[in-house]
Every structure is written in structure tokens, then in C-alpha cells.
Amino acid sequence: MNNVFVFCEIDEGKVADVSQELLTKGRSLANELKCDLEAVILGHKIKNIEKDIAPYGADVVHIADDKRLEFFLTLPFASIIIDLFTKEKPQIALFGASTVGRDLAPRVSSALFSGLTADCTSLVIGDHEDKKAGKKYDNLLYQIRPAFGGNIIATIINPDCRPQMATVREGVMKKEIYKEDHKCKVKTIEVGSILTDADDAVKIIERHIEPRKIDIKKSQIIVSGGYGVGSKENFDKLFELAEVIGGEVGASRAAVDSGFVDHARQVGQTGVTVRPKLYIACGISGQVQHTAGMEESAMIIAINTDPSAPINKIADYVIEGDVGVVIPRMIEAYRKNSK
Amino acid sequence: MKGLRIVVLAKQVPDTRNVGKDAMKADGTVNRAALPAIFNPEDLNALEQALRIKDKYPGTIVTILTMGPGRAAEVVREGMYRGADGGYLLTDRAFAGSDTLATSYAISCAIKKIGCDIVIAGRQAIDGDTAQVGPQVAEKLGLPQVTYAEDVQKIEKNFVIIKRRLERGVELVSTPIPCVITVNATAPESRVRNAKALMKFKHAKTITELQGADEDYIKMHDDRPYLRIEELSVADVEADTKWLGLSGSPTKVKTIQNVVFAAKEAKRLTSDKEEINALMNELLANHTLGN
């Protein structure tokens, strides 16, 4: 009772990265709150899936294995989670801010009348005093997120309702093995006693999911381009530099919206959050929308013709110049010096 | 097939995508007044899906529902100019301080009052980016939800066939009517204003907006009932105030912090070959590059 719960998603037959990231976060929250970490996973033919969950620190894994749960569908998934949370009364429940989590979590929160904060960038335990009501709260979950297009950072709390629910995007939290042989108890959810015919209302007719290809989050070096790169063709130079120095290409929303590169490469609030050891920002002005997704990079190099671009304020190196001139020189210098 | 009753949920939002220099006050806080109020972009995608259904199935009625202060009637008018048949403004002081859950409750009460077969909303609003209200309205109404919709392909018997856009692919689903659909920005853009509709609805007003109008203007409104944008209060939609505003909102904002870039001294370089060469050498030497 009153434990920390993480809803785990399945991606290509495995536990999704975002879920393992949340397990790591959930573990540290549970340690601080001195309670257990429990995971819940729904799917079909997922025997032994707990092996991908336990090492991240889960003490209990609730597994629902049923043909009706092979692919995500709002109604049956929501019915099972609502039933489980009603019985287990988690104090905190975390979901990935994926197309699954952002569909499921609001439905669950509405049914349980528990508050939900979307797309948190930080989760911290803290106290709260409601001076008006003369009430003090210990150990609340501070759900911290950007709002208003990223121009403000809000800390949200749910003082009275449980569970305190939050979604977090992939790549925002770090995933770490807690203990390779962490002991975890498996509990089977009796799907048959929960689902009814009404849960089958929506049906999947066809499904085409591309295998995961571009995943810039895993790269330690990111060469990222913005609107200032100018064209799809000019992005080729960024790809060349990335290949030479062993990195991936990222982009700002403006570059993606202009059709220069695929959305999968977008860094920022509406894209992925990255924290590589080197981030080279080419022709990126540095709107909060973008910097929120890369400001934790260990080193930032900004290449820009505008000496007053906001990105320069968070950069370690600012190269004032044209991307088309600077990048070939970087490639040349790297080739010459790395031998 | 008989015509359907579609309610499109639309929100008036500050245009957070164009936060210019004037948008921040000297003290670093957001100057909301400097941001233009716009029709939430994905709600326009939602409106377009509704209008396409109307095009295909004559007799379909598309109604805009917005919740907000009096000026949000602008969103209803904009929807009417683009092809909606009419609209409602859900407005009441009791809504102040509502989080997504209290908002969803209020909207669900209004939908029950209006009555409809399909609710279509944008996936999320750009001022909050939560994507919660659609699914929460569906739950409150006890209806199935289809999120991330890109194309409402067809309606067969009592089912809607919808293409969804997921992170790495598409999914075709069928859902029974009634249902709630939320539409992605990847869906087709909204059609532009229609000149005829603009002429017809130019004078569409809420009762509050009509206050102080002269007799002739009020008479014109009495003669043309389609010009009335209905205002709905808490009492009109029979909502329980316990579930509205601050008391109906499980989430509270503890603190708001304006984003300020931390000042840090950057090393400044030019595009000079030698300077870039020295930088790359330095990065190799400290193992930022290479292994």
C-alpha cells in the first residue's frame, strides 16, 4: 500500500526505454519515501518480462497477460489500471509521456479523481504548507514542468488526492541498473475478472509501426541544426560532420517544421531531451523551446552569425560565423588532428 | 445516413509560439497582454475534420464549444466563419482556477446539455501542452476515446473509422458512436474563412456582447436567431461547483518560475581556420572528441 508505481510500456516486445528510465526515478523516490517500488505491465505473451524490470529496482511487478492486451487500447488498459490503483492505493504513479501514456494517464486520473501533471522534467520530494487552510503536508511529489511555451517553469503538487500522477518524456530521466539481481515479486493480474465487453468497443483494424531507427538520445555527440542552416541541402554538411566525429544529427523545431530533417531528430520540448557530452548547435537561435531539451549537455558549441543569439548564453564556445564555412573547417581540422 | 451532431472543442490561447521581446516584462515575467490570443492550432485541425464529415454527410451539424472569459467568443465566431453552424461559450466565474480535471468536468456537463454524437478536439493546447482534457472529457462522459487522430476516414453504420498517427507509425481503428476524438497537428490544416459565412456570421454575438447595443441591432438579432452565440453558465449546464475551480482541481500550482538563462562566460571564436583547428585539437585532447 502507498507505494510508488510505474506503468511500463512494451516497445517491440521489450520494456520501453522510457519505462526503465521511470523505474530508475521511481526507485530513488521510493528510497527517499522509504516505501516499495512496484511496476505494472500489460501485454500478450510476456512471460519473463520482469527480467527487464527487476534490475531497475522494482520490488513487485504486476503482470497482465492476455490476448486482448496485445496492443495498447485505451479502454481495457484503463480498466485494469484503475482496478489495480483502486486496490493498491499508490501514493505516486508515473507514466511515460508517449502516445500510450498521454492517452491512458488522463483517463485513469479522471476516473480516480487524482491530479495528473503532463511532461514533467523533474520530480522531487518536498513539503508544502497551505497557510490559508492551516495545513502542512510532508513528502509531496513536486512535479516540475515547463509551461506557457517553455517561458515559465511550474511546480505542481497534488496535496489531497492520490495517486500523485505524472508523465515524463523519453530521455528526460536517466536509466540505471539498480541491482542486477534485485529481488522482485511477480503478481498476476486476473484480467478475466476485470474486463467486460464494453472494454472491446474500440478495435484496431490495421497497424503499421516502423522499427525504431533514428535515436539521437543515445549519441554522445550531437550536431544540431536550426533554421539558420538554411536548407535541406545545407544539412548534408551537418550529417558529414556527425559521421566524421561519430555523432548524430539533431535539429530545432524550426528546422523540422521547415522540412529540413525528420521530426525524429527534433530536440526540445516537443522533441527529445538529450544530454550528450558534446552538443554543436549550428544556426540555432536558442529559444527556450529548444534549449530545454539540450541545456544539460556537458559541452555546448554554438555556431551562429548572430553575436547576440540567446544560445550563446548557455554555450561554452561561441563561433561567430557562417555554418557553411565553419563546418567544413571543423571536418578538415578533425581529420588532420585525429590521425 | 442521417446527419450527425458534432461538437468541436476549441480553446482561445495566447500565441506562445511567437514570444518576442515585448512578451517578457522588465522583471522577467510573461506579459500575457503582449501575446496575441489565437484559436488553438490543433483545435483548427479538429474543426477541419468535423467540417469534412459535414461535407460528406449532409445534415451534419457542427457546433463549437469553448470555455473561457467573454472574449473567447472570438473563437466561436472564427469557427463559424470557417464553416461551423453555431457555437457555445461556457463562461462563469466559478471556473476560475480550474485544472484540467475540473475543466473536463465543466466541458462534459456542457456537452451533455448540448447533446452530440461525436466530440472532436485538438490533441492539446499550446499554452499548457497537457493533452489531458480530451481523454478526461471522454472518461467523464463514459465514452470511448481515440487520440492522435490524423484522418476521420469514414463513418459506417454506427462506427467511425479513424487513422491515428503514433510515434513511429499509423494505426487504423474503429470506434462506436458516440465517441471523443482528439486530432493531431499532422492532420490536414483547417480551411480558410468562407466569404459567405463571414457575411452571415459577422454580427454573431453573445448576450453579454449585445449589452449596450442599440435597438435596431438587437432587433436584427431577434430576427436572426442564428446570430446568437449561446452563453452557458454553471447553472445552465447543471454542474456542481464542488467539482469546479480550485475545489475541483486536485493539482495546485506551488510555484512559478520564469525562465532566465544562467549567465556563463563563453569563449568567443571566429570562423578563422587556425582558431577552429585549435578548438578541434583541444576537444581531442580532453577526449570530448575521439576516444
- Given this model, what pLDDT does residue A303 score? 96
Q: What is the mean predicted confidence (pLDDT) over A123-129?
A: 95
- What's the pLDDT band for A225 if we cut at 50, 70, 90? very high
Same CATH fold, A216-338 and A4-200?
yes
Question: Do residues B249 and B97 touch, judged by C-beta distance below 8 A?
Answer: yes
- Flag whether pLDDT at B291 surpasses 60: no
Q: What is the mean predicted confidence (pLDDT) over B125-149?
A: 96
DSSP H stretches of helix in chain B: 41-56, 73-81, 100-114, 133-141, 195-201, 215-223, 273-285
- What's the pLDDT band for B264 if we cut at 50, 70, 90? low
- Flag whether pLDDT at B26 surpasses 70: no
- Given this model, what pLDDT does residue A217 score? 85
Domain assignment present for B162: yes
Share of chain B above pLDDT 90, in %: 78
Contacts of B289 in chain A (CB under 8 A): 221, 245, 278, 334, 338
Eight-state DSSP code of residue B26: T
- Flag whether pLDDT at B21 surpasses 60: no
Q: What tens digit of pLDDT does each residue of A22-81 get?
A: 999 999 999 999 999 999 999 999 999 999 999 999 999 999 999 999 999 999 999 999
CA distance B75 to B72: 6
Contact of B285 with chain A, judged by CB distance below 8 Å, is answered with: no
Domain assignment present for B202: yes
- Given this model, what pLDDT does residue B110 score? 98
Contact of B81 with chain A, judged by CB distance below 8 Å, is answered with: no
Share of chain A above pLDDT 90, in %: 79
A153-157, A229-233, B45-49, B270-274 — most confident range: B45-49
- Given this model, what pLDDT does residue B262 score? 44
Contact of A146 with chain B, judged by CB distance below 8 Å, is answered with: yes
CA distance A266 to B246: 36
Which residues constitute the domain of residue B112? Answer: 5-243
Nearest to B249 by CA among B144, B106, B145: B106
DSSP H stretches of helix in chain A: 17-33, 74-88, 101-112, 232-245, 253-257, 288-291, 323-338
- What's the pLDDT band for B30 if we cut at 50, 70, 90? low
Q: What is the mean predicted confidence (pLDDT) over B86-92?
A: 98
Q: What is the mean predicted confidence (pLDDT) over A97-109?
A: 97
Residues 94-133 of A with CB under 8 A from B: 98-99, 102-107, 109-111, 113-119, 128
- Joined together, the cell numbers standing for residue B142 give 463514459
Q: What is the mean predicted confidence (pLDDT) over A117-142?
A: 93
- In the structure, how many helices (H) and strands (E) does chain A have? 7, 18
Q: What is the mean predicted confidence (pLDDT) over A12-16?
A: 92
Domain assignment present for B29: yes
Contact of B53 with chain A, judged by CB distance below 8 Å, is answered with: no
Q: What is the mean predicted confidence (pLDDT) over A4-13?
A: 95
Domain assignment present for B56: yes
Domain assignment present for B261: no
- What's the pLDDT band for A175 if we cut at 50, 70, 90? confident
Output the CA angle A213-A210-A101, nearest 5 degrees: 95
CA distance A144 to A154: 6
Name, in order, each residue with C-beta under 8 angstroms of A141's C-beta and a sequence gap of 6 or more.
Answer: A29, A91, A92, A123, A124, A125, A157, A158, A164, A166
Q: Give the domain CATH number at B184.
A: 3.40.50.620
- Given this model, what pLDDT does residue A64 score? 98
CATH code of domain A4-200: 3.40.50.620
Nearest CB to A156: which of B135, B161, B252? B252
Query: Residue ranges of the domains in chain A?
Result: 4-200, 216-338
Tell me whether residues A322 and B19 touch, CB distance under 8 A: no
Q: How many domains does chain B have?
A: 1
- Given this model, what pLDDT does residue B60 score? 97
Q: What is the mean predicted confidence (pLDDT) over A282-290?
A: 93
Question: Do residues B64 and B47 touch, judged by C-beta distance below 8 A?
Answer: yes
CATH code of domain A216-338: 3.40.50.1220
Q: What is the mean predicted confidence (pLDDT) over A296-313?
A: 92
Q: How many CB pairs under 8 A join A and B?
A: 233
- What's the pLDDT band for A161 if we cut at 50, 70, 90? very high
- Flag whether pLDDT at B263 surpasses 50: no
- Given this model, what pLDDT does residue A218 score? 77
Domain assignment present for B206: yes
- What's the pLDDT band for A123 if we cut at 50, 70, 90? very high
- Flag whether pLDDT at B1 surpasses 80: no
Q: What is the mean predicted confidence (pLDDT) over A186-197?
A: 97
- Flag whether pLDDT at B19 surpasses 70: no
- Given this model, what pLDDT does residue B261 score? 44
- What's the pLDDT band for A170 if we cut at 50, 70, 90? confident
Domain assignment present for B253: no
Nearest to A215 by CA among A281, A265, A279: A265
Residues 245-284 of B with CB under 8 A from A: 249-259, 261-264, 266-271, 273, 275-277, 279-281, 283-284
Domain assignment present for B79: yes
Average pLDDT score over chain B: 91
